Amino acid sequence: MDKRFKLLFPHAEIQKRIDSIAAQMTKDLEGKNPLFIAVLNGAFMFAADLMKAVQFPCEITFVKMSSYRGMESCGKVQNLIGLDRDIEDRHIVIIEDIVDSGLSMKTLINYLQDFKPASLRIACCTYKPAALKCPLSLDYVGFEVENLFLVGYGLDYDGYGRNFEDIYVLAEQPGQEN
């Protein structure tokens, strides 16, 4: 990698947050047969650890948001790929790696709401409140972070770093010397 990253959240700290999120989920969702929908690629590691921590009956499936640059004014068009079952009247929890502008989550929520789930919650590992561009209610947040670039634990920099078990932050930000 051509950039330097420094350790932000070691895996043990991530695991602690996951355990407390799982406890919260037990209160909210036990007995409701929830369906977790993990967003690939980034959420694969968070989803795996979260599912191991959750002790009540539940299902998981995986989707992907495909995006391409179009001619539209906002520039980005996204489609949902891979939703493989009926979610009507199901209690849904979206599992996401990071909420940055919030546009991906907003798009996904709009898609899923059309299928009339009983409830729709969001669990994200990291969240950058300062980057949020559209209102979103996040039910389970691992860590609130500054508006800096993160890598590791599913998050990539140019395709690399998803396999790191810890979360790192870009050491040099634009306009910053160190």
Q: Using the 8-state DSSP alphabet, how is residue 140 labeled?
A: E
Among 101, 139, 143, 162, which residue interacts with ligand IMP (rule: CB under 6 A)?
Answer: 101
Please give the structure tokens belonging to residue 107. Answer: 């798009």
The residue count for binding ligand IMP (CB under 6 A) is: 13
Q: Which stretch binds ligand IMP (CB under 6 A): 28-36, 47-55, 87-95, 148-156?
A: 148-156
- CA dist 117 and 63 (Å) reads 16
Q: Which stretch binds ligand IMP (CB under 6 A): 6-14, 29-37, 45-53, 97-105?
A: 97-105
Burial class (CB in 10 A: 0-12, 13-18, 19+), 139: middle
Handedness of CA 43, 48, 50, 51 (dihedral sign): positive
- CA dist 62 and 38 (Å) reads 5
Q: Which stretch binds ligand IMP (CB under 6 A): 2-10, 53-61, 82-90, 92-100?
A: 92-100
- Give yes or no for residue 8 binding ligand IMP (CB under 6 A): no
Among 14, 103, 120, 122, which residue interacts with ligand IMP (rule: CB under 6 A)?
Answer: 103
Is 84 labeled as catalytic in the residue annotation?
A: no
Selection from ligand IMP, Mg ion, none that 115 binds (CB < 5 to 8 A by kind) is: none
Q: Closest Cα partner for 120 from 106, 109, 105?
A: 109
Q: Which residues bind ligand IMP (CB under 6 A)?
A: 42, 97-104, 149-151, 155
Catalytic residue positions, numbered: 100
